[in-house]
Amino acid sequence: MGILSGKVQRQIASYQRELIETHYQEVENMYQQIRGWRHDYRNHIQMMKALAANDDMEGIRAYLDELDVDLNTVDTAVKTGNPMADAILNSKISLAKSRKIRVRADAHIPVKLTMSELDLCCIIGNLFDNAIEASMALPEEKRMIRVYMDMKGSQLYISFTNFTATGKLPRAGKRFRSTKGQGHGLGLVRIDGIIERLNGYLKRASEDGAFTTEILIPQLGGGQAGE
């Protein structure tokens, strides 16, 4: 990647701070919804007890249906086994769906990761943001993001695929050239820097209107999740 100028380094640092602040705000918004529902939990129980005392089974059914809808709005769609991955993935999936982008996610992290949560947040957040930006150039029926995460031996494997409106993307050296402006390009540089620092592997491919990023990150010494 070469030696970056001081100006570029400052741009990356500034972009990183803005990115992390955005991610954590998304996470905070999601958990505020969850905390609000839990706060009302006792009131819901009292309401159903009152309906039961009056033998109002129809009222209980209707109330449970309302609670079911309410709960589905805050329940996490993806449960990987890693709290930070859950928070970032679900906040980004919610953002993608609000922009009419379908997301197919299959993510499992059954071990305690040795990489930092900051690095994990940066990688997943940047990949998702880039995929969302590229998808917005497509008609709604063609917008799709596929996410896959799992352990391959002692390495964390991450794969993101999204469709693009520009077909096969042009390369600029080892990296595909960004068409989304400065922030997008700095996000790619940030990912590359983390993967290099963690002695990981990164591959990008652009074929048949789909752009795929594959990442492997060593996690030697990771124990079972929750230990």
Over residues 175-202, the mean pLDDT reads 73
pLDDT for 106 beyond 90 = yes
The Cα 32–Cα 182 span in angstroms is 32
pLDDT for 104 beyond 80 = yes
Domains of the chain, by residue range, sit at: 40-72, 77-218
Cβ(132)–Cβ(211) below 8 Å: no
Tens digits of per-residue pLDDT, 115-173? 988 889 889 988 998 999 999 999 999 999 999 999 999 999 999 999 987 655 555 44
Second-level CATH architecture of 77-218: 2-Layer Sandwich (3.30)
Cβ(196)–Cβ(1) below 8 Å: yes
223 confidence band (pLDDT: 50, 70, 90): low
Query: What sign does the CA torsion over 114, 119, 123, 129 have?
Result: positive
- Please state the pTM of the whole predicted model: 0.65
Q: What is the mean pLDDT of the chain?
A: 79
Over residues 106-110, the mean pLDDT reads 91
| pLDDT for res 140 | 93
Tens digits of per-residue pLDDT, 8-48? 666 666 656 666 666 566 666 566 666 666 677 778 888 88
